Structure 1
Amino acid sequence: MELKEVVQILEQLAPLSLAESWDNVGLLVEPSTPRPINTILLTNDLTDTVMEEAETLCCDLIISYHPPLFRPIKRLVQRDWKQRLAIRAVEARMAIFSPHTSWDSMRGGVNDWLIGGLGSGHVTVLSQALCGGPPTQRLEFTVKSDEELNTVMEELKACYSAAALQSENSGIHVSFTCSDLALPHFVQTLLGHTVLSQSLTITKLEKHPLPGHGQGRMSILDQPVTVATAVEKMKTHLSLNHLRLALGVGQTLDSLVYTVAVCAGSGASVLNVLQKMTTLDLGEMSHHEVLDAVAKGTTVILSDHSNSERGFLSVFRERLALRLPEAVSVLVSQADRDPLQVV
């Protein structure tokens, strides 16, 4: 199977347009010589030990949830560990793809998987994702005759789109959309027609929300559980022996959890919009963020950053394998683990 075919399937499962604007997602390393994709390795982080595993398995594609190349680079040298990994991938003719926040945002993605660990409930998105594409503007104006309309449209023909015409008693009403980049050209052209420019209006169009997609999740549980039970449920869900717990003011291990909010990884900024919550469940928070939550009476459960994400790899492996030929092996890294351990 060709790399471009696999990438197309990956982007169908989780459109890159769902990723945050600051993120670096998609195909990050592409071999110069095309090679068939026979073995794919899924990992949360691409580290030296994971790269050694990929080389041993003769992988053709590494899907690294966190992008190993994030900030702009000016050179490829051995002293930087991330650049060193990119060089090894190029030399081994391995491709690297990173989905990161597109997996967080998508319906049925990392955050839906994470909140499912506490049981069923009414789940809503905390930070709503919007449809992709560049910002657009709607321009409307009125012309007096078909002849004037034809003249204007001929001038705009090279760049106008989705023009809609509607006849009125006073003339012909014209409405069409354009991108922000094309707007200056449109306006300059239209203002060249004195009569037309008097009726010109410009409206900035908002992007439509994508139901079920976005960052963070909140759930009103169908069956409330105690804090102690919530902790045990999340240990099982995340396959961890230990979690960090900060009881909210007035809360005990026997307090009931009715409403829970989650955000995989470092998601405190997403959860800041919330008022009173029973429990927050996420990878990591700063010391002062935990203090703020606890003071509001909110109990905080922390698993450390990548532990809140890694379990989704097995879920995604099943989804991806169903879309690929049986000859393509999709593996989850056995060397990948959170760098922090309880000792």
Structure 2
Amino acid sequence: MLKSVLRTNNNLIKLFPKHNSNMAVGKSLTSILYELEKFAPTSLAEDWDNVGLLIEPYNKTCIKNILLTNDLTESVMEEAVSKNTDLIISYHPPVFASLKRITQSNWKERIVARCLKESIAVYSPHTSWDSVSGGVNDWLASALPGNNIKPIKPNPCQPDYGAGRIFDTNVTLEQAISCVRNHIGTDVHLSLGLEHNKATTIKKVAVCAGSGASLLKGVEADLYVTGEMSHHELLDANHKKTSVILCNHSNSERGFLQVFKEQFNKILNNECEIFVSQKDKDPLITVK
């Protein structure tokens, strides 16, 4: 009788293996979209932007694996497939300009086709993450010690949110450069447009993740920190006695993904596996 019971129990174990506590339970796409909207409402995005759910698979019912990336490139797409990804959160919208066809002749069209084939949803927050308190611009601003932080261009409905950040600080220019470098990553190249001696004390800083020239233009500050500026925009800043630190566009944004991963894990009660892409990188490298 005992052998029979043991044999029966062993068979049950084979049929119903022990639950792995680390295995993602998963959540519905609808519930995840609800939490994303709660974190940073898409209404905060700039009018020109294309945010929210960009690709919705026909038959996706449960999201277990989520991949975070700054840009959805074809190499990131391959990584997503290899990780059995159900949802890609791509900070930059992979679909921005209107697509008139989905073919294999263009890399963006191929990505859309692959997402549909693999039943992978795609969501892009972009400027809604820039605007929200605790978002990308606040992450970039936190590179430097500061107070009285506020948006450069406040949101009309929620003044604590908005584009860019401006704040008071009290560091030398040399210390500011070191702080930004350590925050962005010591392996990341910084370009400097210096109007001050490195020993000069910096009192006011304005930051804008990504391409910040249009927002920063005319803002009175000792230092601008952004991803990129054109030659003439840089000259204009320097002529107004403002030094500039350029990080390259996506390097001024990418570090927030790890911060968001930790926050979103808590929001989702660890019911989904969240990965930060290892293939995502800035397209520019510096040759020394």
TM-score, normalised to structure 2, is: 0.88
- How far residue 306 of structure 1 moved from its aligned partner, in angstroms, is 0.3
Cα drift, residue 308 of structure 1: 0.3
CA distance in 2, matches of 1:211, 1:20: 15
Specify every segment of 5 or more residues in structure 1 that has no aligned partner in the other structure, as ranges.
Answer: 132-209
Look up the match of 1:225. Answer: 171
* Deviation (angstroms), 1:317: 0.8
Q: Give the letter aligned to residue 64 of structure 2.
A: N
For residues 291-320 of structure 1, the C-alpha deviation after alignment (integer angstroms, 9 at most, x for no partner) is: 001111110000000000000001111111
Tell me the residue number matched to 1:328.
272
Q: Secondary structure at the match of 1:42?
A: strand
Aligned counterpart, 1:317: 261
Among 8, 22, 37, which residue is 1:11 paired with? Answer: 37
Task: Identify the residue that residue 267 of structure 1 maps to in structure 2.
Answer: 212
Structure 1 consecutive aligned stretches of length 4 or more whose deviation exceeds 3 Å: none
Letter in 2 for 1:334: Q
Counterpart of 2:174, as a letter, is: A
3-state secondary structure, aligned to 2:31? helix
Task: Quote the residue 1:246 is aligned against.
Answer: 193
Measured in 1, the distance between the counterparts of 2:91 and 2:98 equals: 18
Q: Give the structure 2 partner of residue 42 of structure 1.
A: 68
Task: Tell whether 2:246 aligns with 1:299.
Answer: no
Cα deviation for residue 226 of structure 1 reads 1.1
Give runs of aligned pairs for residues 47-66 of structure 1, distance below 5 A: 47-66=73-92
Task: Give the secondary structure class of the aligned counterpart of 1:283.
Answer: strand
Query: Aligned with 2:228: secondary structure?
Result: coil
Q: Give the partner amino acid of 1:220.
A: D
Q: Percent identity?
A: 48
How many angstroms apart in 2 are the aligned matches of 1:238 and 1:106? 20
Whether 2:226 is the aligned partner of 1:256: answer: no
Q: How does 1:29-178 map to 2 (within 5 A)?
A: 29-131=55-157
Report the alpha carbon displacement of residue 27 of structure 1 after superposing the two structures with TM.
0.3
CA distance in 1, matches of 2:186, 2:105: 34
More displaced, 318-327 or 9-18? 318-327
* Structure with greater strand percent: 1
The answer to whether the 8 Å contact 2:217/2:237 transfers is: no
Retained in 1: the 8 A contact 2:173–2:202? yes
Of 272, 285, 288 in structure 2, the residue corresponding to residue 341 of structure 1 is: 285
Alpha-carbon distance between aligned partners in 1 of 2:248 and 2:93, rounded to the nearest angstrom: 18
What RMSD, in angstroms, separates the aligned Cα atoms of the two structures? 1.0
Q: Which of the pair has more CA radius of gyration?
A: 1
In structure 1, C-alpha distance between the alignment counterparts of 2:238 and 2:219, rounded to whole Å: 13
3-state DSSP class of the match of 2:160? strand
Superposed CA offset, 1:67-113 (max 9, x none): 00001111111111111101101100000000000000001111111
Give the match for residue 22 of structure 1. Answer: 48
Aligned to 2:151, what secondary structure does the other structure show? strand
Write the distance in 2 (CA, Å) between the matches of 1:226 and 1:255.
5
What amino acid is aligned across from residue 219 of structure 1 in structure 2?
A: F
